[in-house]
Amino acid sequence: MPEKKKREAPLSLRLSRDERARLERDAAGMTLGAYIKWRLFDPNTPPPRTRGKAPVRDHAILSHLLAMLGNLRLASNVNQLAKAANSGSLPVTPEVAAALMQACREIAEMRRMLMKALGLDAGGDSP
């Protein structure tokens, strides 16, 4: 039976919440262990490949956004608007135009919140 390689003892490091948040932000999707090793031993080489997905930066914002999306019934409302527009039965009154502009603003705000929660640059495109 082949002899098992013995792993070295893990290294423990205590950080403040701010220090850990900074470390996670700087790791930009890399595991913290891989990021720390890269910074300590190989900082002059390109960073190793990142995980498949970046961690969520702000769970509170993401939770709020998901609640907003759940309450909007967007798919149903857009489908109703499309049917009304196709049949010619959607009168574009000032109230309808205002409601559509408000919906556009809310969708742009949700996009901004989602990008922020994911730690991405939301850009400046809002209605």
Give the per-residue pLDDT at 16: 94
Mapped to the 3 state alphabet, what secondary structure does the chain carry? CCCCCCCCCCCCCCCCHHHHHHHHHHHCCCCHHHHHHHHHHCCCCCCCCCCCCCCCCCHHHHHHHHHHHHHHCHHHHHHHHHHHHHHCCCCCCHHHHHHHHHHHHHHHHHHHHHHHHCCCCCCCCCC
The pLDDT confidence band at residue 103, using thresholds 50, 70 and 90, is confident
pLDDT, tens digit, 9 for 90 and up, residues 43-73 = 888 777 655 555 666 778 878 877 777 777 7
pLDDT over 60 (residue 109):
yes
Please answer whether residues 127 and 106 qualify as being in contact, where contact means their C-beta atoms are separated by less than 8 angstroms: no
Q: Rounded mean pLDDT of 98-126?
A: 74
The pLDDT confidence band at residue 126, using thresholds 50, 70 and 90, is very low
- Residue 95 CA to residue 78 CA, distance in Å, equals 17
